[in-house]
Amino acid sequence: MSQAIRYDRHGGPEVLTLDDVPLPEPGPGQVRVAVRAAGVNGIDWKLRYGFMDRGRLSAGPAGVGVEFAGTIDAIGAGAGAGTPAGSAAGQGGRSVGRAVFGKVLSGAAATHVVVGTEHLLDMPAWLSFEQAAALPVAVETAWRTLRELDVKEGHTLLVHAVAGGVGLVAAQLARTRGVRVVGTASPARHDFLRELGVRPVEYGDGGDGLAERVRAAAPEGVDAVLDASGRDVLAVSVELAGGPDRVVTIADGRAAEYGVRFSTGGAGGVPLAEVFAEVLPLLERGALRVPIDTTFPLRRTADAHRLSEKGHVLGKIVITVP
């Protein structure tokens, strides 16, 4: 038997239940992972509320969570083939007992998850399960959006919600590439952000002097904007960047109204092996940090969602699985 956090109707965190479910069996090209930790992301509670349902509940209760870390405990037909990759970002995690991390469409907040081996990476020994589970979504999203914005050495990047998981990774990746970074965040996070080389600016929307604060922090001007907040900042972002083609949002569903690109993983996501080939060495030597704000046990996933919905989290929220 396995356990999974699920919901059978849309609503607040109270709709989440910890259910006993049949132990999932891996199919061809898949492995089953005994989950040790799962990351929490905004997409989790947005799906739960029904903002992006797309018929998810038509076939019964839906799981939550899209990123995880754990150990392989069963292998489907063909999934054990091939030579384990030797690199730190190798996709060779195909033997029972191997520590791995990766992504699924849903259901990571559970004791077990079934996943295709192409969505797995070997977990380096210097990472904990909690740290590894916090990485896939934030790192892939940050890496992808920086590529879409085409920021280069000498550019200035504005990141809204820079203290969150995606914002922190994007800011630090950009800094390693010689990009100046300005970021909006609550004042309590400003000292930490300065340590990372980010110029912090207090949160706000377009009508409360945000543009003036950003211009004061970046007198050289802004070349590109990543909106990870969804706090009604697209109009001011377009103004600051000089056009909608220099703005990407991952959080504001009204992007089309402003001519701004809404970036999502889905079919357009970048393979994790490609992303982590650059990122894992940065993490190992401490050039990139993804702090864990709070951890919750699996049975308290609803509390993890409540905290995520409030915002102002430094880094990531992680669910631990006994």
- Report which of residues 46 and 59 the model is more confident about: 46
In one letter, which amino acid is 50? G
Q: How far apart are CA 310 and CA 6, in angstroms?
A: 21
pLDDT tops 60 at residue 3: yes
pLDDT tops 90 at residue 115: yes
Q: How far apart are CA 35 and CA 152, in angstroms?
A: 38
Tokens of 10: 């849309």
The answer to whether 184 and 253 are in contact (CB under 8 A) is no
* Strand pairing class (199-202; 120-122): unpaired
pLDDT tops 90 at residue 150: yes
Question: Residue 158 CA to chain centroid, in angstroms?
Answer: 18
Q: How far apart are CA 292 and CA 311, in angstroms?
A: 14
Report which secondary-structure segment, H or E, holds 105. Answer: none
Q: What is the DSSP string of 230-246?
A: -SS-HHHHHHHHTSGGG
- In this structure, what are the phi and psi dihedrals at residue 263, rounded to the nearest 5 degrees? -100, 130
Q: What DSSP character marks residue 80?
A: T
- In this structure, what are the phi and psi dihedrals at residue 118, rounded to the nearest 5 degrees? -70, -15
Q: What DSSP character marks residue 82?
A: S
Mean pLDDT along residues 273-292:
97
pLDDT in tens, 152-178: 999 999 999 999 999 999 999 999 999
Q: How far apart are CA 150 and CA 88, in angstroms?
A: 26
Q: How far is CA 183 from CA 156, 158, 187, 226, 247, in A?
A: 11, 6, 11, 9, 14
pLDDT given at position 205: 64
For the chain, the residue count is 322
Lowest mean pLDDT among 16-20, 92-96, 141-145: 92-96
Please, what are the domains in the chain? 2-135+290-320 (3.90.180.10), 138-266 (3.40.50.720)
pLDDT in tens, 220-261: 999 999 999 999 999 999 999 999 999 999 999 999 999 999
pLDDT given at position 93: 46
- In this structure, what are the phi and psi dihedrals at residue 292, rounded to the nearest 5 degrees? -100, 115
pLDDT given at position 255: 97
How many Cα atoms occupy the beta-carbon half-sphere of 191 within 13 Å?
1
